[in-house]
Copies of this chain bind each other. A is one copy, B any other.
């Protein structure tokens, strides 16, 4: 920033020709001005700071990053965390929480009002880890959320018993392993976007999530899009973007 300001002042004071200034500007932006600025723009617009990915970072690194975020903002989302990093952050800010199943450490804004309704639906109880990751992500990002567990297509009436809830949601996240057929069925009932999350739950030819991934990509019902296997965070984040 300073560099550019100095440059512009030089122009003003006729210490540099316009053509010369032009040449310097051409390479300057990438280092000092443009892109870094865009980044803070984004944060301001979203009302949501950078998410911290816990994997591949040391506990110390994570702690330093999170501390800085908490100081500046009132909210935090840290994925792939563990209990020890949680305990360390807890001492720093009491309101921080930890969800063991989804391995999320998070801090919700005290004042923020929740928007709309994001409904997280799972085919089986074994999908609940991924469901919690989606649910908490969406809630921390400022959305009202609900969870509907264990309504897989093998007993499709369980799903229909909740038809009003389904139709009230603004965005639906459908989480399913094994054959992953639930996304298509849900999408056929509602008129809102359905985000499908294949999970690696299953045996044999589910191939760690490939089977439900293909099922969901091939959904015969328009209105379904897919995120990566087990990527509850991505689904929650995407749903939040839609819900704004």
Q: Which residues of A contact B (CB under 8 A)?
A: 1, 4-5, 8-9, 11-12, 14, 18, 21-22, 25-27, 29-39, 42, 45-46, 51, 53, 55-57, 61, 123-128, 152-158, 160-164, 178-181, 184-185, 187-189, 191-193, 195, 198, 200-207, 209-231, 233-235, 237-238, 241-242
On whether the beta carbons of A56 and B211 are closer than 8 Å, the reply is: no
Interface of chain A, main secondary structure: helix
6 chain-A/chain-B pairs, Cβ below 8 angstroms? A35-B156, A153-B221, A154-B188, A178-B220, A204-B218, A205-B209
Using Cβ atoms and an 8 Å threshold, which residues of chain B touch A191? 42, 45-46, 241
Q: Which of B4, B158, B181, B237 contacts A215 (CB 8 A)?
A: B181
**Interchain CA distance A31-B29 in the complex, whole Å:** 13
On whether the beta carbons of B8 and A220 are closer than 8 Å, the reply is: no
Using Cβ atoms and an 8 Å threshold, which residues of chain B touch A206? 214, 218, 228
Contacts beyond the supplied A29-B29, A211-B215: 4 A-B pairs with Cβ under 8 Å: A25-B33, A30-B157, A124-B220, A242-B242
On whether the beta carbons of B241 and A228 are closer than 8 Å, the reply is: no
CB distance from A49 to the nearest CB of B (A): 13
Using Cβ atoms and an 8 Å threshold, which residues of chain B touch A238? 193, 222-225
On whether the beta carbons of A214 and B215 are closer than 8 Å, the reply is: yes
**Interchain CA distance A191-B31 in the complex, whole Å:** 19
CB distance from A183 to the nearest CB of B (A): 8
On whether the beta carbons of A204 and B220 are closer than 8 Å, the reply is: no
Using Cβ atoms and an 8 Å threshold, which residues of chain B touch A242? 193, 242
**Interchain CA distance A18-B2 in the complex, whole Å:** 12
On whether the beta carbons of B33 and A126 are closer than 8 Å, the reply is: no
On whether the beta carbons of A155 and B26 are closer than 8 Å, the reply is: no
On whether the beta carbons of A188 and B27 are closer than 8 Å, the reply is: no
Q: Which of B38, B200, B219 contacts A179 (CB 8 A)?
A: B219
With A153-B184, A204-B200, A218-B202 already in contact, the answer to whether A27 and B179 are too (CB < 8 A) is no
Most chain B CB neighbours (cut-off 10 Å) among A31, A220, A231: A220
On whether the beta carbons of A157 and B39 are closer than 8 Å, the reply is: yes
On whether the beta carbons of B185 and A181 are closer than 8 Å, the reply is: yes
CB distance from A227 to the nearest CB of B (A): 5
With A163-B27, A214-B210 already in contact, the answer to whether A36 and B225 are too (CB < 8 A) is no
On whether the beta carbons of A26 and B37 are closer than 8 Å, the reply is: yes
